[in-house]
Structure 1
Amino acid sequence: MTQPLGRACSGLAPTTRTTLRPVPDEAAMTDVWRLVAAAQDGDVAAFGELYDRYVDVVYRYVLFRLGDRALAEDVTSETFLRALRRIGSVSYQGRDVGAWFITIARNLVLDHVKSSRYRFEVPTAELGETREEHAGPEQSVVRDATNAEVLRCVDKLNTDQRECIVLRFLHGLSVAETAEAMGRNEGAVKALQHRAVRKLAELLPRSLR
């Protein structure tokens, strides 16, 4: 049942992953955690480098959840303010520190949703900005229409399933990082992902399966 999701997202997930969050290699991971350690020792410039590395992925995650540029900017700023205050609490666990930033952002988004009953929205135009520069107009139209349909189906999933799909397939987090962001164990995330994929496969139009 995973084939429909893979085919439908073939034009969406890779571009989003490349633009938002390149998968860190071992050297890059080591470099990032050196910055974390320096920031924990009071090096403001090191935290500034962390900000530069992760502000885009945090902003786009928040924007995807809230659908409002100004609000996403505010929440992103608050995310890094909280991260700066709490930098001493994070420790290396073999994962990218980006998952920690996403966890903080997710909690802020949830707080906002609870306080304002803000409806989850999918700003498809924002995702369109990540498309490859060399794509022709015909390909862009087809891909954007496909993306919009997939995202409409994602919007019909329940809250947990939707969150899992967004983190795993649209923002490229690993199972471990998704588990950390959602406050669940890896087994629970795998089961949730399986159910989400099955449900999404049922919702997708036959032409996209």
Structure 2
Amino acid sequence: MVKRAASQDPEAIAKLYDMYAPKIQNFIYHRTSDPLVTEDLTGQVFLRMLEAMRGGNGWRTSFSGWLYRIAHNLIIDYYRKRGQATFTDIDDSPNIHTQTADPYQATAARLENDRLLRAINQLTEEQAQVVTLRFLEGYSIAEVAVILNKTEGAIKALQFRGMASLRRILENA
């Protein structure tokens, strides 16, 4: 399907968008906390994808990693223009919901999510990105390395330091 999209097949492009847009949107929303910015940047990701494919400058290894890399670069550009970074409240995320009908358990889960998010916000930007991609988005170390344009060793080190920092932050909270 990706090769068909690269040859400008509208149906294949639509299927790729349907397949990847929700994940890219979720990734961007966790970094911007703004639904309008999320929508705009998600659209830009797919415009850049099409422009690169037209120019013959598409992905080299992982298509999804390439899309996340485009999203990552757009987020960096967005914050350079704004001058600061923010993260979304997990409760506000459109794709994260509690899996229980018990109000007590749902409240406890929300409080724990809030606590975890506050801790993630105290990490360095790189550590927060690695932790988010690995544990909230479910990507492998190799995929995160492609997305962030780093070696697998660097991702492992960032993950280790990030998790150690999270542990310290949560123990002291």
TM-score by shorter chain over 0.5: yes
The separation in 2 between residues aligned to 1:50 and 1:61, in whole angstroms, is: 17
2:156 corresponds to 1:151 = no
Work out the CA distance in 1 between the residues paired with 2:59 and 2:81. 31
Out of 141, 166, 173, the position equivalent to 1:200 is 166
For 2:106, the equivalent position in structure 1 comes to: 140
Out of 175-184 and 124-133, give the one that drifted further: 124-133
Alpha-carbon offset, residue 106 of structure 1: 0.7
Distance 1:160 1:125 in 2: 23
How many angstroms apart in 1 are the aligned matches of 2:84 and 2:119?
19
1-structure distance, mates of 2:101, 2:65? 31
For the residue of structure 1 that corresponds to 2:123, the secondary structure is coil
After superposition, the Cα gap between the structure-2 partners of 1:114 and 1:74, relative to the gap in structure 1 and judged at 3 Å, is: same
Aligned to 1:90: 58
**Structure 1 counterpart of 2:150, from 159, 184, 188:** 184
- Residues 168-193 of structure 1, C-alpha deviations (whole Å, 9 max, x = no match): 11111111111111110111111111
Matched, 1:108 2:74: yes
Structure 2: tracts of 5 or more residues without a match = none
Aligned to 2:7: 41
Separation in structure 1 between the aligned mates of residue 30 and residue 129 of structure 2, nearest angstrom: 11
Percent of aligned positions with the same letter in both sequences? 30
Larger RCO of the pair (alpha carbons < 8 Å, separation 6+):
1
C-alpha distance in 1 between matches for 2:99 and 2:155: 34
| Alignment length (residue pairs) | 171
Paired residue for 1:63, among 9, 20, 29? 29
Q: Amino acid of the residue matched to residue 89 of structure 1?
A: N
Task: Give the partner amino acid of 2:85.
Answer: R
Structure 2 equivalent of residue 19 of structure 1 = none
2:86 is equivalent to residue 123 of structure 1: no
Over 4 Å off, 4+ runs = none
TM score, norm. by length of structure 2: 0.91
Letter in 2 for 1:106: H
What displacement does 1:139 show?
1.2
Q: What 5-or-longer segments of structure 1 have no aligned partner? A: 1-34
Alpha-carbon separation, structure 2, partners of 1:39 and 1:161: 33
DSSP-derived class of the 2:86 partner: coil
- Judging changes above 3 Å, is the alpha-carbon distance between structure 1 residues 189 and 133 closer, same or farther for their aligned structure 2 residues? closer
